[in-house]
């Protein structure tokens, strides 16, 4: 699973988490830099650009094979807790017990090869399938190692209309072993009052976390 917010090289548990953190940061960040304080957007504010999770750079073009025994599906009994960001003006349910890292209005939650993140930026219009295809997909293709597009679709979430982008990319190499992992990413883009939220959910390729992805995205609320 940008979004779909991705420089995460600090205190996350385990080497695999550090690798994923770097890979996800590249995909979750909206185009442009994230605000360090509360996001205040207006009609004249430039649109955001980019994405936030840490994945490998596009120069690493060979796709890594999916894990034979991926780090795993998220357990059915996984508990979720609601996280609220005053700086970003949103709340969202995230897995309980995962390592959390805040970055101004953005946040990431990491466990092994899974990382869920949110990034907030200013935008002048709501995203559409057309705008995502014209702008976001080329940006992701440039920034993500062995980028492979899945789909771009318009969906409806409780928080409002959204665009969902699915794709695969390589994680960043492990600092010790150099090993990379193939990731599946779901990126959700939502817009309200000049603010763009990018929710990016990354998991090992081959794992089955569709229900969790839908649950987390559907829990997002503007505040």
Task: Tell the residue number behind the tokens 């073009």, with chain if given.
Answer: 61
Q: Rounded to 5 degrees, what are φ and ψ at 156? A: -120, 125
Q: Kindly list the domain boundaries of the chain, sorted by start residue.
A: 15-39+46-68+78-222
A 10 A CB-CB count for 62 gives 10
Q: Which fold has domain 15-39+46-68+78-222?
A: Protein Transport Mog1p; Chain A (3.40.1000)
Give pLDDT tens digits for 143-200: 888 899 999 999 999 999 999 999 999 988 888 888 888 999 999 999 999 999 999 9
Give pLDDT tens digits for 24-72: 444 555 544 333 456 778 643 444 434 445 554 544 456 555 554 455 7
Closest CA to 121 of 201, 194, 22, 202: 194
Cα(195)–Cα(48) distance, rounded to whole angstroms? 9
For the chain, what is the radius of gyration of the CA atoms?
16
pTM: 0.76
CB 149 within 8 A of CB 167: yes
**Per-residue model confidence (pLDDT) at position 111:** 92
Cα(197)–Cα(217) distance, rounded to whole angstroms? 11
CB 170 within 8 A of CB 135: no
Give pLDDT tens digits for 99-127: 999 999 999 999 988 999 999 999 999 99
The token pair at 160 is 């409002």
- β-sheet bridge partners, residue 106: 103
């Amino acid at each position: 699973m940008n979004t779909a917010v991705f420089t995460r090289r600090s205190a996350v548990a385990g080497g695999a988490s550090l690798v994923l953190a770097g890979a996800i940061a590249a995909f979750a960040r909206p185009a442009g830099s994230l605000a360090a304080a509360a996001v205040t957007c207006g009609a004249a504010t430039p649109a955001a650009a980019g994405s936030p999770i840490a994945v490998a750079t596009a120069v690493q073009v060979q796709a890594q094979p999916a894990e034979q025994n991926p780090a795993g599906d998220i357990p059915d009994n996984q508990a979720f807790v609601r996280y609220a960001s005053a700086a970003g003006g949103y709340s969202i349910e995230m897995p309980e017990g995962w390592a959390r890292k805040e970055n101004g209005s953005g946040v990431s939650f990491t466990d092994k090869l899974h990382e869920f993140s949110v990034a907030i930026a200013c935008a002048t219009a709501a995203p559409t399938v057309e705008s995502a295809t014209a702008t976001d997909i080329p940006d992701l293709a440039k920034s993500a190692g062995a980028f492979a597009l899945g789909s771009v679709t318009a969906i409806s979430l409780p928080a409002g209309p959204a665009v969902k982008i699915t794709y695969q990319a390589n994680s960043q190499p492990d600092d010790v072993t150099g090993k990379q992992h193939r990731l599946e990413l779901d990126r959700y883009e939502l817009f309200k009052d000049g603010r763009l939220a990018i929710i990016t959910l990354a998991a090992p390729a081959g794992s089955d976390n569709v229900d969790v992805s839908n649950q987390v995205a559907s829990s997002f609320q503007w505040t």
